[in-house]
Amino acid sequence: MFWIIEKLTDFAEQPAIVDNDITYSYLQLVNQITNYKKQLDEKINNGDVVVLSTDYSFHSIALFFALLLKRCILVPIVSQVEEEVTERIKESYADWVIKLNKDGLNREKYGDNRDKHEMIKSLQDAKHAGLILFSSGSTGKPKAMIHNLNNLLETYKTRKHKPLSIMVFLMFDHIGGLNTLLNSLSMGAKIVIPGTRDADEIGSLIEKHKINILPASPTFLNLMLISETPNRYVLSSLKMITYGTEPMPESLLKRLKANFPRTRFLQTFGTSETGIAQTSSRSSTSLDIRLNDSNQEYKIVNGELWLRSQTQVLGYLNANMDSFTKEGWFKTGDLVEELKDGYLRIIGRNKEIINVGGEKVFPAEIESVLLEIPEIDDCMVYGEKNAITGQNVVADVVLRNDIEPKLIKRLVRKYCKEKLDSYKIPTKINVKDKTNFSERFKKMRLHNG
């Protein structure tokens, strides 16, 4: 595990982190890690469960690695909702809660009389660091999943040096965000931390720091188009935009490519349970994806993608393992089409399927058609309960220009008749100021029936 500090040290004076317009070198990062470890040694024991209640910053990243060196079980929590934070602290069996403020580390002793969970004990006995992440909780109580952090970190050991500039967009408590962090630092890249996740802020930082790689969600990338970010900032430094966390409408991908003609688009795939897989896309305008990761294997069962990886979780601290088979396969809940040449196409989540009189409707397919209509900037499709057909298809739309809602409804239905089977055409169209998405820029579809 100490190899990561040696690697960071080797990059010396190269820029490591840009935070709040201050650029820190790799040597400064290593020095701060060393400083924090000395402070932690005063009170926190090796193997303790430690909550980091913070998002990305130079100091939180240094603290992350200091705790890693102490083989602690780390629990990053970005949420500012007090009730949610309190619940996650309890669910993680925390010993300490650390917050960063202007005066340094605010260490708060936490703990109750419960014995630690067996999976936490197993990491402590093996003298391995751990990582506890929480599911989004959109369909019930968030699951507390625990990783062997030594095992996860090992997959970045062979990364070659690449002096790139990379935006850290996905959050500190997200497997994708941590993948960006660990991948970037293990190859000596410069990471840029945005002050806010706002299209203007991101565009400004890309221009100023000549960002080469931007990882983001389709929802956020569309917000960049809506705000005309590509026209207002010089974004020519972008070599690659990676997208994941939710389905990408095909027409949106083509619209993005037209606005970023020299940028490569890569679809990523991963889960909090299994880690982020190495992928390749057929092309920048194709949704066909290949999983080509030696640490992961997959199979398709009744149209659902199942994964098994060397970096998957030890288990859940507060839930059963129904999502896993006895053989260790994780049922992702993603439905895919398997193409003849080894590529896959993700067509949607099984929980988001709309059932219209026994016919399956996938929201992403309808959204892709709606986004072809020039008057529509954004949209979200979901099902609504219907006594006769089971469900109706409903579409929330955000208009590009001021037009009468009645006109857009007629326009949508006329256009969809040319593109879709009749049962897929939205029966209800709601004009909205914006679609319903989370702070992580992931669409939050309604489930009415």
Kindly state the average pLDDT of the residues 40-47: 93
The string of pLDDT tens digits covering residues 106-132 is: 888 887 778 999 999 999 999 999 999
Sign of the Cα torsion 292, 298, 301, 303 reads: negative
- Per-residue pLDDT, 403: 77
- Per-residue pLDDT, 207: 97
Backbone angles phi and psi of 348, in degrees to 5: 150, 175
Distance CA 350, CA 364 (A): 12
Place of tokens 């720091």: 209
- Per-residue pLDDT, 218: 95
Distance CA 256, CA 390 (A): 35
The string of pLDDT tens digits covering residues 266-306 is: 999 989 999 998 999 999 999 999 998 888 999 999 999 99
Distance CA 299, CA 48 (A): 37
Predicted model pTM: 0.92
The string of pLDDT tens digits covering residues 327-366 is: 999 999 999 999 988 899 999 888 899 999 999 999 999 9
Domains of the chain (ranges; CATH) run 3-154 (3.40.50.12780), 353-448 (3.30.300.30)
